[in-house]
Amino acid sequence: MTSPLITPEQLAALEGATVLDVRWRLGGPPGLESYREGHIEGAVFCDLDADLAAPPGEAGRHPLPEAQSFQSAMRRLGVSDDRPVVVYDDAASTAAARAWWVLRYFGHRDVRVLDGGLPAWIAAGRPTTKEVPQPAEGDFTARPGGMPVLTADEAAALAGAGVLLDARAAERYRGEVEPIDPVAGHVPGAVSAPTTDNVGPDGRFLAPERLRARFAGLGVTEGVPAGAYCGSGVTAAHEVLALEVAGLPAALYVGSWSNWVADPSRPVATG
């Protein structure tokens, strides 16, 4: 299996790739400002809120974009079907994982995440630039269905029949705090699995064998159906990416907690 991750050295040697800078913070500041201060040469800024999600609503805070909208955004950023895409951020690949997942969902076959992101690139002695490229329009064709997804009902069923991982911080899972959504708690039967445990202190993913051991401890082994959710489908994509690094397939509940609590009839667990 080809790893979904790429090192700074491998990226520096990779010719013809489209590189997307997906820096983003929940609540800001805008990643575009950081991009303008310095980025990998040739990288184009990709706006998570505008390019990788539809407008917020009952479907969640970061619903899947419509195929045509996503296709147009990716073509504007220079993404083509036959060119590899490398995505990165500066936050342990949290936002980059969302870009990786959405591109894979819409059918791009060669997408990799820069392991450790921009900090790893700089630590490797690689240069950055403030020059903003003007990419030629790409020819990417969005073909939905490339990655498995879960509806709210399917997530609820999976929590009983397999393993549904909650990628948020443990205190949000337990319902002790909820800084964003109107209801605190978790999907009944879900297992707490904060994405912060997928990476080391340097923001790079743990080795595949360590990730396999982590997920085995949470009940996810070969043959066990697995899925992940978070607040709005961003950090849960990071969980799916970590599972893929470990060689374990998993589905994403894209609407996640923000969609779950939009229906007051859905049960909520705490503790």
Could you give the residue numbers annotated as active site?
230
Cα 47 from Cα 68, distance rounded (Å): 17
Closest by Cα among 77, 136, 126 to 103: 77
Structure tokens at 157: 């069923």
Structure tokens at 97: 């994982």
SS percent in the chain: helix, strand, coil, step 5:
35, 15, 55
Cis check: omega of the bond before 29, within 30 degrees of 0: yes
State the DSSP code for 226.
E
List C-alpha distances in Å: 29 to 10, 46, 48, 111. Answer: 30, 15, 13, 26
